[in-house]
Amino acid sequence: MNTIPLGRSSLQSSAIAYGGWRLAGTYEGAQVTPEREAHGCAAVIAAFEAGCRLFDLADIYADGAAERIFGEALRHVPGMREQIVLATKCGIRKSGQPEPHSPYRYDFSKDYILQCCDESLARMGVETIDLYMLHRPDFLGDPAEVAAAFQTLKDQGKVREFGVSNFRPSQVAMLQAHCPMPLVVNQIEISLSQPAAVHDGSLDYCLANTLTPLAWSPLAGGRLAPGATVSMQDPEHARKQKLYDVLDQIGRERGANRSQIALAWLLRHPARIVPIIGTTIPERIHEAIAATTIELTREEWYRLYVAATGQKLP
């Protein structure tokens, strides 16, 4: 699989990345079993063997269990750590932490960022995180304080590069204005089911400022996978069915399936979007990566975009 640089950094990502949201088989740490851990570890190894070189995690995924599972995979495959970009995220605090009355919230305070980084490093059993991201915007976050936390982590050798996730262009610009180092990615939801980033300025900002867009949920949680159907009771049935029809038609013409065409649509954009796949089934991992061999024409891309939005171009 081809590699691309992440932003203005020296980090090189595979064209398709692998995400750890589902590694534990549950979103609650208390529900993680040895069987689920083994399945998640095998999925990471399968993604590495298939060519994925960027692995995306977060401290909140299964209350840290996803990071622990990933660390176990690193121990199983000698030399894997040196061949990948290890990315993880921080900044979300669940309700009841640290006090019973504490609400679910976001926290970009310097002390919390530093604490989270140390905990992630320990769970994964590594000394350095290649790419550290803020998970969701903290409305009370002080950009100067965040910049100070980033500088501390860089000076300590704990993080190589930094990025953000789910930030609006104006929020990225605000933080970058205070950071001495360039932000290299913005991880946002982008898919044919959620194409807003194409026209809301998010991808424009990435192109103008050399940030790499990382696309989470590029297959809309499986809704763009082969075999997915639209309920007749869905008020947007006609638009969604039209999208499926166009995906399937182009897929037949290209000898590909629906998910591969949906991923190829993202890969065609000049911002060099990196889709993050999350399936834990090895066959589907290989199937998704095959999308990198498909280069859609401009006409095919626009056919899909119009079907996705349900509106004719002006």
CB atoms inside a 10 Å sphere around CB 146? 23
**Of 101, 162, 174, the residue nearest 137 (C-alpha):** 174
61 tagged catalytic? yes
Q: Are 94 and 60 in contact (CB under 8 A)?
A: yes
**Of 105, 101, 99, the residue nearest 136 (C-alpha):** 105
18, 61, 132, 244: the catalytic one is 61
Q: What distance in Å separates the CA atoms of residue 117 and residue 167, rounded to the nearest whole number?
A: 20
Name every residue whose Cβ is closer than 8 Å to that of residue 33 and which is 6 or more positions away in sequence.
Answer: 25
Counting beta carbons within 10 angstroms of the beta carbon of residue 9, is it exposed (0 to 12), middle (13 to 18) or buried (19 or more)? buried
Alpha-helical runs (H) found in the chain: 34-50, 65-76, 80-83, 110-124, 143-155, 169-178, 202-209, 237-254, 258-267, 282-289, 298-309
- Give the residue numbers marked as catalytic: 61
